[in-house]
Amino acid sequence: MANMRRALKIGFAYTGVVVGAGFSTGQEILQFFTNNGTMSIFAILLSGLLVLFTGKWTADVGFDIKAESHVDSLLSMFGNIFGRIVDVVLAFFLYGVAVIMFAGAGFTFYESFGVAPWVGSLILIIAVYITLNLDFNRIVLALGAITPYLLAIVVIIAFINFMSPAVPFSEADQYAEPEATPLGPWWWDAITYSGFTIAVAFSFLTMMGSRSDSRKVAGWGGIIGSVVIILLMFLINNGLLARMNEVNDVELPMLLLADEIHPVLGLLLSIAMLLVIYNTAVGMLYPFLNRFSRPGSRRYKIMLPVSLILGYILSFAGFADLVGTVYPVMGYVGLLLGIAMFIKWLRLVIGKKSPH
């Protein structure tokens, strides 16, 4: 029972890191999946299977090598020279996703509450600053606490839209815009998105895995988080398909779906979106800062405010444009990580079974 609680803690925190601005607003799922029309169902199945395996591998490898940061895992998988190159690329994208979260917070505050985007982004940055001065275990608890609330809200929105769709499932392809997806064929969008997911989660999940009580707890944490992510992908995609005639015209498609049901549900979703945006911002910046400094050190205390101020300035680019530009490239980085992790995982498993 205690082990399951620990695994749930890892799984919910993992979900909290992955499910950020692009995901909770529906923009990510719309761009990578829903605009493929009815084929988006198969795309999510394919992507979900890859997310499931890579989530478990990441947590397992983190535990096995006792990673203090993602650098340990990367050097173990890629060797000293290439590992350092991937490390720099991954650190750059961790920071890039954090900037997207700042932009997403500004849009969400504006669309939901009429607050100026620059104020919304600033509120998030202050909350992130306070959180990143806490210890690691408290950060993990903060990330995991929000996941059940988001899941409940998304289930309600998706179910109501699915039961009374504006667009019947058989007609969704008429309104789909496959040319608006980042990379082309539905199956390649699916594979790349799974790569993006693992690139986002890799740093934080390896650290959570390394701090687990056992390999079993780490692995189950990765599995639980992956299953919750897949469930959310299906629910959001099906909800968006039911409103395929409208969702491409707005920045925050899930908020449109919620508001059409009832304004109170829209308010609850807005709160959920802001909370998971906060989650991902924390989940990206912590490993980024941990890569260059030790938490609590003088360097960390200087880097934290500097990175937040610079991120705030960079966040004034368009939210949807940032998602469409940064995420596909990060997907390729994640695919590389996924392949390397699979090879590392196989070696670890074979090594344990070998009598020598």
Q: Is residue 159 part of a domain?
A: yes
Number of domains in the chain: 1
Which amino acid is present at 78? F
Distance CA 121, CA 255 (A): 18
- CA atoms within a 13 Å half-sphere pointing along the CA-CB vector of 229: 39
Q: Is residue 253 part of a domain?
A: yes
Angle formed at CA 216 by CA 219 and CA 354, multiple of 5 degrees? 100
Where helices occur in 114-185 by DSSP H, the ranges are 117-131, 136-145, 147-163, 172-175
Distance CA 217, CA 41 (A): 31
Collapsing DSSP to helix, strand or coil, 91 comes out as: helix
pLDDT tens-digit readout, 64-98: 877 777 788 788 778 888 888 888 888 888 888 88
Q: Is residue 355 part of a domain?
A: no
**pLDDT beneath 50: ranges in the chain:** 356
Residue-level pLDDT at 56 = 86
Residue 133, number of CB atoms within 10 A of its CB: 14
Query: Quick check: 266 and 259 in contact, CB under 8 A?
Result: yes
Distance CA 238, CA 159 (A): 9
Q: Is residue 356 part of a domain?
A: no
Query: Quick check: 178 and 36 in contact, CB under 8 A?
Result: yes
Distance CA 158, CA 250 (A): 17
Distance CA 237, CA 99 (A): 25
Report how many helices (DSSP H) and strands (DSSP E) the chain contains, helices first: 16, 0
Query: Quick check: 34 and 237 in contact, CB under 8 A?
Result: yes
Q: Is residue 287 part of a domain?
A: yes
The CATH number of the domain where 257 resides is what?
Answer: 1.20.1740.10
Distance CA 57, CA 345 (A): 6
Collapsing DSSP to helix, strand or coil, 296 comes out as: coil
Q: Is residue 126 part of a domain?
A: yes
Q: For 168, left (φ over 0), alpha (ψ -120 to 50), or beta?
A: beta
Residue-level pLDDT at 353 = 62
Distance CA 103, CA 311 (A): 9
Distance CA 103, CA 318 (A): 7
User: End-to-end alpha-carbon separation of the chain, Å?
Assistant: 34
Segments forming the whole domain that contains residue 331: 1-349
Distance CA 339, CA 50 (A): 11
Q: Which of 19, 48, 40, 28 is nearest to 238 (CA)?
A: 40
Q: Which of 315, 141, 167, 135 is nearest to 240 (CA)?
A: 167
Q: Is residue 104 part of a domain?
A: yes
Angle formed at CA 198 by CA 196 and CA 199, multiple of 5 degrees? 60
Query: Quick check: 91 and 291 in contact, CB under 8 A?
Result: yes
Residue-level pLDDT at 322 = 65
Query: Quick check: 120 and 104 in contact, CB under 8 A?
Result: no
Q: Is residue 354 part of a domain?
A: no
Residue-level pLDDT at 82 = 85
pLDDT tens-digit readout, 194-212: 888 888 888 888 888 888 8
Report residue 36 as tokens: 């493929």
What pTM does this model have? 0.83
Query: Quick check: 18 and 233 in contact, CB under 8 A?
Result: no
Where helices occur in 262-314 by DSSP H, the ranges are 263-292, 298-314
Distance CA 222, CA 225 (A): 5
